């Protein structure tokens, strides 16, 4: 059983389209995150949710809208996709809001905008 699963694994789409990435964790964790890894492999946090409540929104364009229907799911919807949105998006979860335990990451969604 995969602990943090993301779908789809690969996503190729045209500029201007709207797309969603889904994430689910079966670890019973309270906090979930979206990270973006750019072409130079730099990882930067985008959002975090704790028990369905938005905690961190890290200066991300408002074309990106996260949604957490319950604490096991955190989806990412992107409107009007741009070339610069091409990246690998990672979902992660941690046991509590302030955690020394580290995060568990999904395997990533590689988004390519053409």
Partner 1 sequence: AQSVTQLGSHVSVSEGALVLLRCNYSSSVPPYLFWYVQYPNQGLQLLLKYTSAATLVKGINGFEAEFKKSETSFHLTKPSAHMSDAAEYFCAVSDETGGGNKLTFGTGTQLKVEL
User: Is there a contact between 79 and 18 (Cβ–Cβ < 8 Å)?
Assistant: yes
* CB of 48 or CB of 75, closer to partner 1: 48
User: Is there a contact between 89 and 21 (Cβ–Cβ < 8 Å)?
Assistant: yes
The answer to the question of residue 1 lying near partner 1 (CB under 8 A) is no
Size of the site for partner 1 (CB under 8 A): 29
Among 55, 61, 63, 82, binds partner 1 (CB under 8 A): 55
* CB of 6 or CB of 75, closer to partner 1: 6
Residues 60-89 that bind partner 1 (CB under 8 A): none
Among 43, 79, 80, 82, binds partner 1 (CB under 8 A): 43
CA dihedral 28, 24, 111, 47 (to 10 degrees): -50
Q: What is the DSSP string of 6-47?
A: EE-SEEEE-TT--EEEEEEE-S--SEEEEEEE-TT--EEEEE
Q: Which residues lie near partner 1 (CB under 8 A)?
A: 4, 31, 33, 40-45, 48, 50, 55-56, 58, 90, 92, 94, 97-108
């Amino acid at each position: 059983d995969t602990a943090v699963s993301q779908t789809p694994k690969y996503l190729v789409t045209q500029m201007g389209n709207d797309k969603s990435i889904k994430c689910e964790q079966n670890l019973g964790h309270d906090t979930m995150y979206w990270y973006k890894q750019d072409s130079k492999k730099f990882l930067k946090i985008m959002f975090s949710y704790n028990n369905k409540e938005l905690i961190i929104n890290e200066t991300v364009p408002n074309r990106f809208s996260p949604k957490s229907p319950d604490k096991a799911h955190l989806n990412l919807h992107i409107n009007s996709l741009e070339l610069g949105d091409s990246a690998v998006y990672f979902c992660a979860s941690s046991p509590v809001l302030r955690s020394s335990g580290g995060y568990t990451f999904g395997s990533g969604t590689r988004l390519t905008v053409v």
